[in-house]
Structure 1
Amino acid sequence: MTENELLAVLRLQHAPNIGDVTAKKLISHCGSPAAVFTDKLQQLQKIDGVGTYTVRGLHDAEHREAAEAELRYITDNDIAYAYFTDPDYPNYLKHCIDGPVLLFKRGNINLEGRKIISIVGTRKITSYGSALCEELIEALSPLNPIIVSGFAYGVDICAQRAALKHDLQTIGCLAHGLNQIYPKVHAKYTSDIEKNGGFMTEFWSTSNPDRENFLKRNRIIAGMAEATIVIESAERGGSLVTADIANSYNRDVFAFPGRAKDNYSTGCNNLIKQQKAHMITSAADLLYMLGWDIEQQQKTVQKQLFVELEGDEQTIYDYLQKKGKQQLDSIALECQLPIFKVSSTLLNMEMKGVIRPLPGKLFEAI
């Protein structure tokens, strides 16, 4: 996306009467974000579902000035982003009518060909909920899924810490811009998450973690995953909103049941009772209902491990196994091989299925 097109998207985002659904409608009709601002307002008003009120003030200077300021922030801080038609935009989220037109991201996020699940729940997690969360993620780890959550207190951070523990990619969906972290106490986890996963948000650097932003970001948590799992929840809470949104997207929702009078089991029990969620008591239930096969995955990995490697391939593979994700230059330096030789060797290894490339010119052993 060119800088001019990005500026146009930001202008649409700042316009008060244009949400993601309408923005996509305008872009589709006009052919590009920039073309929205070159078409006559009279023509835009005739688009089904748009009208005079929607486009009123579209060309106001305040929207352009705000967009230009945010564009400078994006450029100056090298902020990565995914437009809703880009290949690296979350595939499941592309099918959500109200998915964000633009997502900002940070870290080493690689969604290609990966199973994605969202895990949500109360901010006041109990020891029972913590045990369920950790056992679930440990049991799922052979499938190498991506764990998505909201980086909040309670179930969210429990799930993301468990993902890190089992070397799973995890993504935190934020309710504010990438220029800050909320809650601040979780800042100590950001570095580890960005090494294997990262953060996503639709919010600008000028956005604060306001209540309405948390509710809005829940659609991203629900929308980018194949399934949403509720660990614990009181009778009301953001996790139940996420479950409702996932249902509206025709995604699978699962909930762990709890004792009838436990406060933080009420929400899960109600989801199950109202048939808004499938009841699960273990990872085996989840795997059965989603049709995921851990045994087949393990056989595939086992087969990959016994691929015959040649001299330089074995050297590089052993290095990556020991050091984890590494950049091309580091591999060449530490393995004492010329870069051109490393590049061709890595390509051969990728074809054999023993390594995979990651964003940021990183490589890791499988």
Structure 2
Amino acid sequence: MNNNNSILTRVAITITPRLNNALYSPLFQQCGGITGFFQESDANIKLLFKENNLTNIQPERSLWLQQAEEELKNMEKHHIQICGIEDPNYPHLLKHCADAPLVLFYKGTLKADESKNIAIVGTRKATELGKTRVGNILQQLADMGYRPNIISGLAYGIDIAAHSTCLRLGLRAQAVVGHGLHMVYPASHKNIAEKILAQGGTLLSEFPTCAPIHPTNFLQRNRIVAGMSEAVLVAESPVKGGAMSTARQALSYSRNVLAIPGRPEDSNYTGCNMLIKQNIAALVENVSDILEAVNWEPIPTRPHQTSIDFFSASNDEDLIKQTLTNAGEQNIDQLHQLTRIPVHDLSVLLLKLELEGIVTQLPGKCYSLI
């Protein structure tokens, strides 16, 4: 089989979202695979569609292949890679879900490992308390020696709090999005997405760049978040919301569902409290509750070593802050000229200040104090 044809036909099958689903793998098996599906006669395809209850989809294979040719150009332009369900680097837990995507698009690193995986989800309108709880739990996991993959959706609120904490702690972040990987939504999270990739993480999607963005895309991607994870932690959520759909999807996959409780009068925790009350989710008050639920082996205690702080405080930090105070918004070249700090060192210090919430990066790679 020609590898280029295999890639083209994989991309082509994503053009019709319903067919990019393991529920219809018997259809492709009857054709000898996805490439075989595009080589079958029109008469046989119409018959197979009828046998597989796909009479409401018009098989326009030549059109899908034509669109896939354009999609491949966009993939090359935006450094997007593709992974099929039979590939060794396909997420191993997701592979066993009945409705897993047959084909995923990704940017960054997608490993065929058995690393521990936890999804952290919640409301977009997260409180500072909710975001702090997420940070504390991840900090405790890291302090105990655990290095799990943390999966979320790059949305406002709890999602971005989880991703940002991963960057600060050096944990691997995986973001599943509801659109093509030629863009980042919301656009304000583009910097975080770039840092996830720079730190060895992954951006994942089942949608090609040509796919229109619908609200249902984000509900559809929730099954991927749930399917990739050993456990889904709902950190903060009202009764209605995407986090609740992710929790119920995780339950259908026999995954552990966990929830952080809140005060009954707090609407942002009514969903978490309901999951616990209905015995859908285990109550999480601290990291020990998570470890008990997922049954991870304890990390052996190592001899104490003096830690090296790669981001130790320095006079250069004070110089950067003072410069931004006096001169206002500056790009990195302007800061280099004003401070005379080497560009490499300046980049590291700016990243540190950004993660600490002191500096923010603006469009055009400019920086200002928060």
Q: Which residue of 1 aligns with 2:93?
A: 92
Q: Which residue of 2 aligns with 1:53?
A: 55
Deviation at 1:76, TM superposition (A): 4.1
Matches within 5 A, 1:51-200: 51=53, 53=55, 56-59=58-61, 61-110=62-111, 112-141=113-142, 142-196=145-199, 197-200=201-204
Instruction: Give the number of equivalent residue pairs.
Output: 303
CA distance in 1, matches of 2:248, 2:36: 36
Change (3 A) 1:224 1:165: same
Do structure 1's residue 38 and structure 2's residue 42 form an aligned pair?
no
Change (3 A) 1:22 1:71: farther
User: Structure 2 length normalisation: TM-score?
Assistant: 0.76
Matches within 5 A, 1:145-294: 145-196=148-199, 197-294=201-298
CA distance in 1, matches of 2:310, 2:86: 37
Q: CA RMSD in A?
A: 2.5
CA distance in 1, matches of 2:173, 2:14: 27
Residues 156-202 of structure 1: per-residue CA shift (max 9 Å, x gap) = 00011111111000011111111111111111212221122121111
Deviation at 1:58, TM superposition (A): 3.7
Q: Which moved more, 1:109-118 or 1:225-234?
A: 109-118
Change (3 A) 1:215 1:49: farther
Matches within 5 A, 1:308-327: none
Deviation at 1:27, TM superposition (A): 2.3
CA distance in 2, matches of 1:216, 1:49: 25
CA distance in 2, matches of 1:186, 1:257: 28
Q: Is the 8 A contact 2:154 2:175 kept in 1?
A: yes
Change (3 A) 1:17 1:281: closer
Q: Is the 8 A contact 1:22 1:50 kept in 2?
A: no
Change (3 A) 1:69 1:46: closer
- Matched residue type, 1:33: I
SS across alignment from 1:178: coil
Q: Is the 8 A contact 2:163 2:192 kept in 1?
A: no
CA distance in 2, matches of 1:183, 1:111: 29
CA distance in 2, matches of 1:271, 1:228: 12
Matches within 5 A, 1:325-344: none
SS across alignment from 1:117: strand
Q: Which residue of 2 aligns with 1:358?
A: none
- Matched residue type, 1:276: I
CA distance in 1, matches of 2:92, 2:172: 17
Deviation at 1:98, TM superposition (A): 1.0
Q: Is the 8 A contact 2:20 2:103 kept in 1?
A: no
Deviation at 1:255, TM superposition (A): 0.3
- Matched residue type, 1:57: P
Deviation at 1:246, TM superposition (A): 0.5
CA distance in 2, matches of 1:10, 1:198: 19
Q: Is the 8 A contact 1:7 1:68 kept in 2?
A: yes
CA distance in 2, matches of 1:42, 1:208: 30
Q: Which moved more, 1:279-288 or 1:38-47?
A: 38-47
Q: Which residue of 2 aligns with 1:363?
A: none
User: Structure 1 length normalisation: TM-score?
Assistant: 0.77
Residues 237-293 of structure 1: per-residue CA shift (max 9 Å, x gap) = 000000011011111100011111100010000111111111111110110121113
Q: Which residue of 2 aligns with 1:346?
A: none
Deviation at 1:2, TM superposition (A): 1.4
Change (3 A) 1:282 1:190: same
